[in-house]
Amino acid sequence: MTSKTTLWLALALGITLGGMTHAADSIEPTAKDPNLWLENIDGTKQLDWVKQQNAETVKKYADSAEFKQLDARLLEVLDSHDRIPMVGKMGDYFYNFWRDKEHPKGLWRRATLDEYRKDKPNWETVIDLDALSAAENENWVWHGVDCLKPAYRHCLIALSRGGADANVTREFDLKDKQFVKGGFELPEAKSRVAWMDIDHLYVATDFGPGSMTKSSYPRIVKEWKRGTPLSSATTVYEATDEDMSVSAMRDNTPGYERDFVTRQIAFYDSETFLRGKDGKLTRIDVPRDAHVDIDRQWLMIEPRSDWTVGGKTYTSGSLLATNFDDYMAGKRDITVVFEPTATTALDGYSWTRHQLILNVMDNVVNRLEVLTPAAGEWQRAPLGGAPALSTIAASAVDEDNSDDYFLTVSGFLQPTTLYYGTLGQGDAQAIKHSPSFFDASKYEVSQHFATSKDGTRVPYFEIAPKGLKADGKNPTLQYGYGGFEISLQPAYSGNVGRAWLEKGGVYVIANIRGGGEYGPRWHKAALKANRLRAYEDFAAVSQDLFKRNITSPQHLGAMGGSNGGLLMGNMLTLYPQLYGAIVSQVALLDMQRYTHLSAGASWIAEYGDPDKPQEWAWIKTFSPYTNAKAGQKYPPVLFTTSTRDDRVGPVHARKMFAKMASLGYDASFYENIEGGHGAAANNTQAAFMSALGYTYLWDHVK
């Protein structure tokens, strides 16, 4: 299955690889950058500085009874036993990873379908991560599992220390429910590991000097045999030093077993090869910026640029299907499964055993179709409709064996409902309901369109109290992301309801360019030299809120994380007059040095290369750390980050705060020592970080 990610809080920036910057304590400030010393992430002096700033921020914003009450209420949402335990099917069981008050690090557990359907399933614990962490004296954070099908007995468990992207990989036996003594095991690294068969793995990891790309990702993928040292693994493919990364995998679908190697050239450019039994690699002949997915006999192609092949031109953002073997043999008989319009974009798709579920966004609202392969044009039928201004998504339960599917429906004011159905056998039945964490009857959702500087219509969602008085005084929180073709769609959030709406605030989601709301064209419109379009769009939404008299600058706060944190940095430095306060989370901010910090080099395709003078000329226009200067009327700003973030890293937020503070501005800073790029390693930390952001904004814009 392929699917574009929908996020309330944009926490996914780049793939989960990349190294942290661990400079020596001897890093010295320079006249050009007096805050360079803060780039030593784990230095004693630097961490003492972090603790000092944290204490000041806690004292000012997180030490009141009101804050502690909000913190507890947000934790109650995250720890609720009534949340839907989302599952994935392997063999006869449905697996779920679960955190709550009693299990802060989490349980990996399983149940049969009949048991799962019950209001209170009797779960069987497979791994108790709290017990494992205590036994091994490690701060393990769950990072996922890959089990070898079709038996699903042998699994590769990924565990992170403190939430960093780097994982320790260990083999686990699902029958015995214990780690395999003498089994496959990899030390902490940014690894890509996949099963070939019971005795062989594909491994891309840090093999030592020269084995990583300049982006700090694995450059070499090898075939590793059970019972042999990793040093004896045989090389399958070597990417170049300038490439981003490399990986390999085997599709173990019965009857369609094939091996593939992927060379990730840049963030949006890649090559996928079919690996023959003799080890020979044959490239799948599609454009480098196209995404490919192979499912049984089908090759699915998503071109990100218009593509002419076989005498026909296929539109950027389309979904194309063709017989894989025929295509590899040179035939170009391609079926257009989806073609975008001015208002529609592909949001994802999922194969069941015999059919394809297609998820389409129309002005950022979903609709589903079921497609049945046929000669010529495929047969189409609708699959339910989503309520107004909500999100609906469907995916296969077990694509190898059935046409069963899960369907979820969620909205800003509608808690998620999980349905289970079988294609062609009537409507899906609701089997799980998320609880309500606030009284949604008091609010209403509307969609609006602002006009950006260049005339582009930019959609945004508004969640507000019914009968809202348009007097320009409503405390309003505007959230955005605007990058990496990630879409922000309607979704229920108990945290937003409790932390903002219940206080009388208005919540706004801005669907700015750089995202995926209208497919690749919407994303490409804000790439590299055009990056300012995203910030103009966000400003246009703010100005439209003023025009509609919903709020005014002194009552408008803005928040964003990761690439959205960079967005916040630019709203701070480019549009300070529009906001009463800003919160920038796990952000990129120093765009002159971002390629030399953590995993930054991997995002050159998104922002450009600041080491090239001709590109720095326009990158510097959206580098907040570069552009912050004295004598401006900047609104109060809070920067939050995590020491264990080895993707973006804490350096950006540290330096930006230090510069703002040295210039005499009202700036605050908080760095969670754990948490990785999500800035939280458990629900308690997540609740605190959320409460801190919301409290900061409310205190300044109410």
Name the residue ranges covered by the structural domains of the chain.
34-76+437-701, 83-189, 347-436
Q: What is the pLDDT of residue 418?
A: 96
Q: Which residues are catalytic?
A: 562, 677
Q: What is the pLDDT of residue 9?
A: 30
- Secondary structure of residue 481 in the 3-state scheme: coil
d(CA 148, CA 600): 33
**Global confidence as pTM:** 0.93
Tens digits of residue pLDDT in 176-196 = 999 999 999 999 999 999 999
Higher pLDDT, 3 or 174: 174
Q: Name the most confidently modeled range: 53-67, 368-382, 666-680.
A: 53-67
Q: What is the pLDDT of residue 162?
A: 86
Higher pLDDT, 691 or 388: 691
Q: What is the pLDDT of residue 163?
A: 85
Residues 6+ apart with CB under 8 A from 185: 168, 169, 170, 171
Q: Is the pLDDT of residue 28 over 60?
A: yes
Phi/psi region, residue 317 (left: phi>0; alpha: psi -120 to 50; beta: rest), is left
Q: Is the pLDDT of residue 26 over 90?
A: no
d(CA 414, CA 409): 8
Q: Average model confidence (pLDDT) for the chain?
A: 93
Tens digits of residue pLDDT in 69-111 = 999 999 999 999 999 999 999 999 999 999 999 999 999 999 9
Query: In what helix (H) or strand (E) does residue 119 lie, and over which residues does it extend?
Result: none
Q: Is the distance from CB of 622 to CB of 567 less than 8 angstroms?
A: no
Q: What is the pLDDT of residue 386?
A: 64
Tens digits of residue pLDDT in 293-343 = 999 999 999 999 999 999 999 999 999 999 999 999 999 999 999 999 999
pLDDT bucket at 677, cuts 50 / 70 / 90: confident
Handedness of CA 23, 28, 32, 34 (dihedral sign): positive
Query: Per CATH, which fold does 34-76+437-701 belong to?
Result: Rossmann fold (3.40.50)
Higher pLDDT, 188 or 646: 188
Q: Is the pLDDT of residue 6 over 60?
A: no
Can you tell me the mean pLDDT for 512-532? 98
The order of strands in the sheet holding 379-382 is 2-3, 344-351, 356-362, 365-372, 379-382
Tens digits of residue pLDDT in 226-265 = 999 999 999 999 999 999 999 999 999 999 999 999 999 9
Q: Is the pLDDT of residue 521 over 80?
A: yes
Phi/psi region, residue 675 (left: phi>0; alpha: psi -120 to 50; beta: rest), is left
Q: Is the pLDDT of residue 4 over 60?
A: no
Residue with tokens 């605007």: 482
